[in-house]
């Protein structure tokens, strides 16, 4: 077997492995993109807690207003009940009721604010829940396909590792070094076939003498234009 044929086989196996590795990497990244779920979960948890707090604040504000109204009712029933006759005491009672009513306005404003906060928090909570459901549904539908594809690719990868070892065995060590260095410089593609009297990588035309050189069993022939090793079948 000529050196370039051995290298060409190795190149085909390695190119296939490169494609599989790139695809596996992309799949892993997508599966990791469960980040989307994680992020949606965090937002949901935060909105859930904010909603509970706002709800509690609202209940508290409502209770405070109710208590204040009860106080006012009690004071008014004393005022109009007839038990208090002393003008000074009656005046004090009227002042107290006026003061209680002023504070009730403050409490009712607080209650209104708490209600607005609670409604806003509830809306945020609903949005966060919908976003989380969406992220989960999207991940689930993607993952079924991707998990199956990953399994297939991992098996292909194992098979190609064996093929890679076999292909390496057919290439002398010194040439293997040249190949690996060239692969690094040429984006993974070190060996290309001659197609229609031209380099299959860069397309530059080759003379019959150059093609003949590429057929040499013992020596490597490089494309004069792109510098890749040429293989002539």
CA 214 to chain centre: 48
At residue 204, φ and ψ (nearest 5 deg) are -75, 140
Size of the site for Zn ion (CB under 5 A): 6
5 binds Zn ion, rule: CB under 5 A: no
Which region, left, alpha or beta, applies to residue 184 given φ > 0 means left and ψ of -120 to 50 means alpha?
alpha
CB nearer Zn ion, residue 66 or residue 202: 202
Q: Token pair of 129, please?
A: 């829940």
39 binds Zn ion, rule: CB under 5 A: no
> Which residue from 42, 202, 216, 233 is in contact with Zn ion, where contact means CB under 5 A?
202
Strand order in the sheet with 229-231: 198-199, 191-195, 229-231
205 binds Zn ion, rule: CB under 5 A: no
SS (H, E, C) 199-225: ECCCCCECCHHHHHHHCCCCCCCECCC
Would you call 178 exposed, middle or buried from its count of C-beta atoms within 10 A (0-12, 13-18, 19+)?
A: middle
> Which residue from 223, 229, 231, 232 is in contact with Zn ion, where contact means CB under 5 A?
223
> Which residue from 2, 78, 213, 225 is in contact with Zn ion, where contact means CB under 5 A?
225
CB nearer Zn ion, residue 100 or residue 226: 226
Q: Please tell me the distance from the alpha carbon of residue 220 to that of residue 170, in angstroms, as a whole number.
A: 15
CB nearer Zn ion, residue 121 or residue 199: 199
Per-residue x/- track, 171-200, Zn ion (CB under 5 A): ----------------------------x-
Q: Shortest distance, CB of residue 219 to Zn ion, whole angstroms?
A: 17
Q: Shortest distance, CB of residue 221 to Zn ion, whole angstroms?
A: 11
User: Would you tell me which residues interact with Zn ion (CB under 5 A)?
Assistant: 199, 201-202, 223, 225-226
């Amino acid at each position: 077997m000529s050196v370039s044929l051995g290298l060409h086989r190795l190149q085909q196996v390695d190119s296939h492995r490169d494609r599989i590795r790139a695809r596996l990497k992309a799949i892993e990244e997508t599966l990791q993109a469960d980040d989307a779920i994680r992020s949606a979960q965090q937002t949901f948890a935060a909105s859930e807690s904010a909603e509970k707090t706002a709800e509690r604040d609202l209940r508290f504000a409502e209770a405070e207003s109710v208590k204040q109204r009860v106080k006012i009712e009690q004071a008014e029933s004393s005022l109009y009940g007839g038990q208090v006759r002393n003008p000074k005491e009656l005046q004090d009672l009227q002042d107290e009721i006026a003061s209680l009513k002023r504070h009730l306005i403050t409490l009712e404003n607080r209650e209104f604010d708490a209600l607005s906060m609670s409604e806003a928090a509830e809306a945020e909570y609903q949005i966060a829940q919908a976003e989380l459901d969406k992220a989960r549904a999207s991940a689930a539908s993607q993952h079924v396909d991707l998990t199956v594809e990953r399994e297939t690719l991992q098996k292909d990868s194992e098979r190609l590792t064996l093929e890679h070892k076999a292909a390496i065995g057919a290439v002398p060590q010194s040439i293997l070094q040249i190949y690996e260095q060239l692969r690094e410089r040429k984006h993974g593609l070190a060996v290309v076939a001659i197609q229609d009297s031209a380099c299959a990588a860069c397309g530059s035309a080759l003379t019959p003498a150059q093609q003949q050189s590429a057929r040499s069993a013992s020596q490597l022939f490089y494309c004069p234009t792109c510098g890749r090793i040429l293989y002539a079948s």
